[in-house]
Every structure is written in C-alpha cells, then in structure tokens.
C-alpha cells in the first residue's frame, strides 16, 4: 500500500463523513418542518435561508452549554458511552457502496471506504454492538434505575435484531454473497 492508496482512503472517509453531516442537518431540518406543518406552525426560519442551518445552530449551542455531571457517576464511562453509541453507526457507512467505481489514472477506485466480503454481516455486527453503549450509560450513572432502563432497552434492541437478520436472509440466498457491492451489482442486473 503506497501513499496514494492511503490518500484515497482518507479522502473517501472525509467525503463519507461530510456527506453524513450534511445529510443529518438536512434531515433534521426536514423533520422539523414536517412536524411544524402537522402542528400548524411555521417551523425553523431564523438560522439561514428557510431555517436550513437550524441544526448547525443547535449543535453550536449544545457545544457551549455547561456540562453538569451528576454525583456517583463513573466519569470515564459516563463520558465514553455516547461516543460508543455513535461509533458503530459511523462505522456502518464504511462498507456501504455510495456509487459506482471510477478511474483515477490507471487506478479503479470504488466509491466505498472498504469493500468487505462479509459487509452485510459487518453491518449486523455493528448494529448489535451499539446497544452495549446504552447499558454502559445506565451503569455509569451509579443508580440502579438507569441501569435497569439500559438493560431493558438493550433487550428490546436485541429482540429486533433477530427479525432484522431473518429479513436479510432472502437477499443473501438470492444473490449468494454477503458483499454489499456484489449485492448492489446483483440487483442492477
């Protein structure tokens, strides 16, 4: 792996991350507009044109808010739990093909950070590990009630994962592969 390969991977990661951030901002804006329409309100209008930058303004406000730590918390786990819940969600997007392959000089570059042979299994595994952050957040609080709530939420998420995994079986059997790029190619004919 030479320098150009590393540079291409870094660019793909940055492009995917920027895409996710912009997509998140626009989806939050659209959700607020739809909810406002359903409640016969205007929705966000002040931040940017038609309120498009409201999510960015909320993020800046949240960044500068005072951080209050409750008593009896396990501080390192308390701070780490939200990061651990976000990390699997971001890692899932590394195996999703965002578009067709293209050529840069003599190299063919796939519009996907990494093409795993078991990409679909990776997505299921990452979505399974995200639930542990909820238990860690409940445990770190130092109280039994958040811990019970975290265990309950984890049990619910695990019960949904069995149905989600079984729903993917027909596509896997039909295509005969777990690679997401091959699944997409198989769908296109």
Residue 189: band (very low, low, confident or very high) from pLDDT cuts 50, 70, 90: low
Residues in the chain: 189
| Reported pTM | 0.74
Reported as a single tens digit per residue, the pLDDT across 47-74 is 777 777 777 888 888 888 877 777 888 8
In the chain, at which residue ranges do the beta strands (DSSP E only) sit? Answer: 99-104, 107-111
What pLDDT shows up at residue 179? 85
Reported as a single tens digit per residue, the pLDDT across 99-137 is 777 787 787 777 888 888 888 889 888 888 888 888 888
Q: Domains of the chain: which residue ranges?
A: 1-65, 70-189
Angle in degrees, CA 168, 88, 75, rounded to 5? 145
Share of the chain above pLDDT 70, in %: 98
More confident residue, 121 or 187: 121
What pLDDT shows up at residue 5? 77
Nearest to 115 by CA among 32, 189, 183: 183
Nearest to 9 by CA among 102, 110, 78: 110
């Amino acid at each position: 792996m030479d320098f150009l390969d590393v540079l291409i991977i870094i660019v793909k990661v940055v492009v995917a991350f920027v895409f996710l951030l912009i997509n998140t901002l626009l989806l939050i804006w659209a959700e607020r507009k739809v909810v406002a329409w359903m409640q016969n309100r205007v929705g966000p209008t002040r931040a940017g044109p038609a309120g498009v930058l409201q999510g960015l303004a909320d993020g800046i406000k949240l960044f500068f808010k005072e951080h209050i730590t409750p008593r009896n918390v396990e501080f390192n786990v308390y701070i780490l739990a939200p990061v651990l819940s976000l990390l699997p969600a971001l890692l899932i997007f590394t195996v999703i093909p965002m578009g067709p392959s293209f050529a840069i000089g003599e190299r063919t570059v796939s519009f996907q950070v990494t093409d795993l042979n078991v990409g679909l299994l990776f997505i299921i595994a990452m979505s399974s590990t995200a639930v542990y952050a909820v238990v860690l957040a409940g445990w770190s609080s130092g109280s039994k009630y958040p811990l019970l709530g975290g265990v309950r939420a984890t049990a619910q998420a695990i019960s949904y994962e069995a149905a989600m995994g079984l729903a993917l079986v027909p596509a896997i059997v039909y295509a005969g592969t777990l690679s997401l790029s091959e699944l997409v190619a198989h769908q296109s004919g």
